[in-house]
Structure formats: C-alpha cells, structure tokens
C-alpha cells in the first residue's frame, strides 16, 4: 500500500532520522520526501511530507513508533490500489450486463474498476466503454485484465489493451 504522510519535526539534529527509522525498520520503501526546513507550522515545527510503500499490517506500528519518537503526525492518507491501467470494451456491453463485468474485477479483492466511460450510440448498435482498473500491484493488475478478457470472451466483447513498448 502507498502511504502519503505529513509529519512535523522539531528543529533539532537527528529528527529526520528519527522519522525515517521506523519506516525502514518495518520494511517500508521510501518513495519521496519533501523537507521544508525554512517553513514552520503554527506549532513552530518543520513540515515534512513523506510518501512510502508499506505492508498494510505495518502501518499502525509505524505510526506508533513515530509517536514514541516524538514525531508529530498531521495527516495520513493510505492508497491501497497503486497500479492502474485502462482497457476498452467493444460490443453489446449494456445488453450483456456491464455490472456483472465490473463485479468480476471488483470481487477479486485486489483490483477495482474505478472509472467507466460508456458510449452507446443507439439501442441496437455496438457500444464501447473505457474502463480504468486499479490494483494493489502490477501482477494483480495483469490478473484483473486476464479475468476481464475471460468474461469478455464469454459475452462476445472485444477487449482493447494499451500498447506497451518495452526497450532493452
């Protein structure tokens, strides 16, 4: 899971290390840090924004260790679904139960359809839909798209995936 966290540090040496150590000890992976040393919060502390990845089970322990280290936490935002992809479905999407198609992804527990844009020109013509899928990881995103392809095949729908260029 990706975590965005705003913390507040005292202006004393070693405070940043005190904030990063619990994340490291609990196998978190730091993605970004913005340290505003010249700014101060209303409490006189230095605002710092962290973005890191951590196992969901470790987040509470990280927060507890930060508090024990005297680090103020002003905001925590968890983002469980960190990988995203988009596909296009073409066919009689509405007539083949679009909700069932979406549910096939949502019920996995590791991926969700988070956005859909549907075009249905006339009731008896082919429609198209763009689906944005988010997942907990890249492997799970590929698995969700594979599930979608299987459902689409049974419903005689065409799945158009994005082109991925890989260079060595």
Q: Does position 122 have pLDDT exceeding 90, yes or no? A: no
Mean pLDDT of 14-28: 95
Please give the Cα distance from 128 to 89 (Å, whole number).
5
What is the model's pLDDT at position 94? Answer: 87
pTM (2 decimals)? 0.57
Count of beta carbons in the 10 Å neighbourhood of residue 127: 20
What is the model's pLDDT at position 58? Answer: 94
When computed from its CA atoms, the radius of gyration of the chain, rounded to whole angstroms, is 22
Question: In CATH, what is the architecture of 1-77?
Answer: 2-Layer Sandwich (3.30)
Q: Does position 113 have pLDDT exceeding 70, yes or no? A: yes
Q: Does position 124 have pLDDT exceeding 90, yes or no? A: no
* 144: DSSP letter: H
Q: How far is CA 105 from the centre of its chain?
A: 15
- What is the average pLDDT score of the chain? 89
Q: Give residue limits of the domains in the chain.
A: 1-77, 81-158
CA atoms within 13 A on the CB side of 145: 23
pLDDT digits (tens, 9 = 90+) for 89-109: 999 998 898 999 999 998 988
pLDDT digits (tens, 9 = 90+) for 68-95: 999 999 989 877 677 888 999 999 998 8
pLDDT digits (tens, 9 = 90+) for 25-60: 999 999 889 887 888 888 889 999 998 989 889 999
Whose structure tokens read 């609990």?
26
Question: In CATH, what is the architecture of 81-158?
Answer: 2-Layer Sandwich (3.30)
Mean pLDDT of 144-150: 95
What is the model's pLDDT at position 168? Answer: 47
* Fold agreement (1-77, 81-158): yes
What is the model's pLDDT at position 26? Answer: 95
What is the model's pLDDT at position 16? Answer: 93
């Amino acid at each position: 899971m990706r975590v965005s966290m705003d913390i507040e540090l005292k202006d004393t040496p070693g405070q940043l290390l005190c904030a990063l150590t619990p994340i490291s000890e609990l196998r978190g992976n730091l993605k970004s840090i913005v340290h505003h040393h010249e700014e101060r919060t209303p409490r006189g502390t230095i605002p710092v924004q962290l973005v890191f990845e951590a196992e969901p089970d470790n987040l509470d322990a990280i927060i507890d260790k930060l508090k024990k280290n005297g680090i103020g936490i002003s905001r925590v935002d968890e983002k469980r679904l960190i990988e995203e992809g988009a596909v296009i479905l073409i066919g009689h999407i509405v007539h083949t139960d679009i909700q069932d198609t979406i549910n096939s992804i949502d019920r996995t527990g590791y991926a969700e359809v988070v956005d859909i844009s549907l075009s249905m020109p006339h009731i008896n013509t082919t429609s198209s839909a763009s689906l944005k899928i988010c997942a907990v990881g890249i492997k799970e995103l590929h698995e969700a798209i594979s599930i979608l392809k299987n459902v689409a095949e049974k419903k005689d729908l065409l799945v158009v995936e994005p082109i991925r260029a890989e260079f060595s």
